[in-house]
Amino acid sequence: MNIDDGAPGRPPPALSQWKSVPAIGLASIGLFVLLWSCPAGAASPVWGADGGFQPFDAPREIQKQFKSQLPFDWFIGNPQPSGEGYGVMLHISGAWHGNPVSAARNLCPPRYSVLWRHVARITIVPVYHQQHWASVECP
């Protein structure tokens, strides 16, 4: 059905002339409106492989955040709940030369990260040459 509502002198077609919108179309429109109305920077929902909603998994997201920034021979342990946030051990390669506390501070997630909507604090404890250095607290 061709609807020409832009022709001069012709009124727009009556509502009854429109074909019914399939249910899948309504669902798509609803999802679009929902996502469009979310404020900028809001956490997007996490969907599982089966299509169901997954709750935010803070330890997994912390692991992903750090692994994307770490040099090849550095690694972090599993994030552990600690007070209002999580604590991680940052293992720095012995071949690296520098200040481990400064290196740990540079790995703090940025303030606009989705992590801060779910985690109040991340404490990083650098381990360099098998020694624990002063911890760094990311706000």
In a domain, 34, yes or no: yes
Could you tell me if 133 and 89 lie in one domain? yes
For position 53, what pLDDT does the model report?
74
For position 86, what pLDDT does the model report?
96
For position 56, what pLDDT does the model report?
84
For position 51, what pLDDT does the model report?
66
* Radius of gyration of the CA atoms of the chain, in A: 25
Residue with tokens 């991340």: 122
- The number of distinct structural domains making up the chain is 2
Q: How far does Cα 8 stand from its chain's mean position?
A: 50
For position 131, what pLDDT does the model report?
94
Could you tell me if 117 and 66 lie in one domain? yes
For position 6, what pLDDT does the model report?
53
For position 54, what pLDDT does the model report?
75
In a domain, 9, yes or no: no
Return the SS3 of 50.
coil
Could you tell me if 35 and 98 lie in one domain? no
Task: Print pLDDT tens along the chain (139 aa).
Answer: 555 555 566 665 555 555 555 555 544 554 444 444 444 333 445 555 666 777 889 999 999 999 999 998 999 999 999 888 999 999 999 999 999 999 999 999 999 998 999 999 999 999 999 999 999 999 7
Could you tell me if 78 and 125 lie in one domain? yes
**Residue 19 lies in domain:** 15-53
d(CA 21, CA 26) in angstroms, rounded, equals 7
Could you tell me if 71 and 114 lie in one domain? yes
d(CA 39, CA 12) in angstroms, rounded, equals 35
Could you tell me if 74 and 120 lie in one domain? yes
For position 121, what pLDDT does the model report?
94
